[in-house]
Amino acid sequence: MLVLGRKELERLLTPAGVIRAVESAFARYARGEATVPSRLALTAEEGGLLLVMPSSLAAAALGAKLVSVYPKNRERGLPTIFATYVLMEPGTGRPLALLEGGFLTGIRTGATSALAARYLARPDSRVIACFGAGVQAAFQLRCLATVFAVERVLVVGRSRDRAERFCETMARELGVPVGVAETPRQAVSQADLVTCATTSPTPVFAGTDLRPGTHVDAVGAFRPETREVDTETVARARIVVDTYAGAWEEAGDVLIPIKEGAISRSSVHAELAELVIGAKAGRQGRDEITLFKSVGSALEDAAAARLAYDEARAAGAGVEVDLG
């Protein structure tokens, strides 16, 4: 079995490569060639949570991601989230690889958002408002910058100091001006594309501030009682979700407005796979507001893990471990 740590994955996986991999995976999903059960959640000690996310991609990939979420780890100086992915051979069940799951999750989430934005954002989108100044926000920007000719980024974060450090890092990496917005309204009112990658349980901006033609990308909330975007945003937008199954269980951004009576399930235009195979259309007009809501799918993990494994074998990367 091959062991691939974060450093190996950083060398092996690129945003462009993962975007292609998840696009292929969603096409398989649309054709009925993938199985993605609901994630299993187990409450653990110290307020911790263990998530198990299995999936199968026909003859391409079989595996599961294990994610532990321990909010109290902040007090211990430890990461709040640890993740590991186990990739197996579909035909035999033989373990192929053990992969560090944090980088894998970050890049597949960003890649899926970028894929959706290709169908939903205006092609000439140049200015991004980024809510969040953490690890996932960085992945969102890297992947979106692969698809769009980004010229400027406005960042909104809870901590001014952290947001400024984030801006410095991303400006060097992207090669464009990245600055802290004074208010959410200032960021949103100038943006062509808004990406939200926060842990906020409540909306981070007002939907009334969105300009016509804006695309909104929301990936931070993954519980039915939490959301990053408000009812106004959802009511104004053409809504696409990563998968219907995940949205109906976990997407508070959509479920709360449904509960309020502002929209219905039929207001959700499509799941991403339908856009990928052309079964449903993406953006329909320059002034249309669009929303992509993602809670994350094990389908994306399987695609990224298989790509990493194939690239590692080709490059002779990773550490081989004999499990006997």
At 307-319, the pLDDT tens digits run 999 999 999 999 9
Please give the positions annotated as active site: 65
- CATH number, position 176: 3.40.50.720
Considering the domain architecture, whether residues 131 and 210 belong to the same structural domain is answered as yes
Question: Rounded CA gap, 297 and 274, in Å?
Answer: 15
Considering the domain architecture, whether residues 304 and 211 belong to the same structural domain is answered as no
Considering the domain architecture, whether residues 11 and 79 belong to the same structural domain is answered as yes
Considering the domain architecture, whether residues 11 and 35 belong to the same structural domain is answered as yes
- Full pLDDT tens readout for the chain, 324 residues: 999 999 999 999 999 999 999 999 999 999 999 999 988 989 999 889 999 999 999 889 999 999 998 888 878 988 888 999 999 999 999 999 999 999 999 999 999 999 999 999 999 999 999 999 999 999 999 999 999 999 999 999 989 999 999 999 999 999 999 999 999 999 999 999 999 999 899 999 999 999 999 999 999 988 899 999 999 999 999 999 999 999 999 999 999 999 999 999 999 999 999 999 999 999 999 999 999 999 999 999 999 999 999 999 999 999 999 887
- CATH number, position 83: 3.30.1780.10
- For residue 116, give every residue at least 6 positions away whose Cβ sits within 8 Å of its Cβ, in sequence order, or none: 217, 240, 242, 272, 275, 292, 294
- A 10 A CB-CB count for 44 gives 12
Q: What's the domain range around 59? A: 2-105+299-320
Considering the domain architecture, whether residues 149 and 237 belong to the same structural domain is answered as yes
At 111-148, the pLDDT tens digits run 999 999 999 999 999 999 999 999 999 999 999 999 99
